[in-house]
């Protein structure tokens, strides 16, 4: 019984840690920004070559 309670408390703590992670949209917007800069650089190179 004591092990079961300990397991439940451990799962609850794990869920709390996951919940406290930074939100993903910040990471997604950073990735989008980096990809946008990369695309602009590629387009500029293509224009120079053509």
| Structural domain for 32, as ranges | 22-50
42 in any annotated domain: yes
Question: Tell me: the pLDDT tens digits for 1-29?
Answer: 666 666 555 655 555 555 555 666 666 78
User: Which of the two residues, 40 and 1, has the higher pLDDT score?
Assistant: 40
28 in any annotated domain: yes
How far apart are alpha carbons 26 and 49 in whole angstroms? 35
Q: How many domains does the chain have?
A: 1
The full length of the chain comes to 50
33 in any annotated domain: yes
Task: Check whether 39 has a pLDDT greater than 60.
Answer: yes
- Of 17-26, 30-39, 41-50, the least confident: 17-26
32 in any annotated domain: yes
Amino acid 24: pLDDT: 61
Token readout for 11 is: 């799962």
* Residue where the block lists tokens 């950073």: 30
């Amino acid at each position: 019984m004591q092990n079961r309670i300990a397991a439940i408390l451990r799962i609850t703590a794990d869920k709390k840690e996951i919940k406290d992670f930074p939100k993903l949209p910040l990471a997604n917007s950073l990735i989008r920004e980096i990809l946008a800069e990369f695309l602009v650089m590629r387009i500029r190179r293509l224009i120079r070559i053509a």
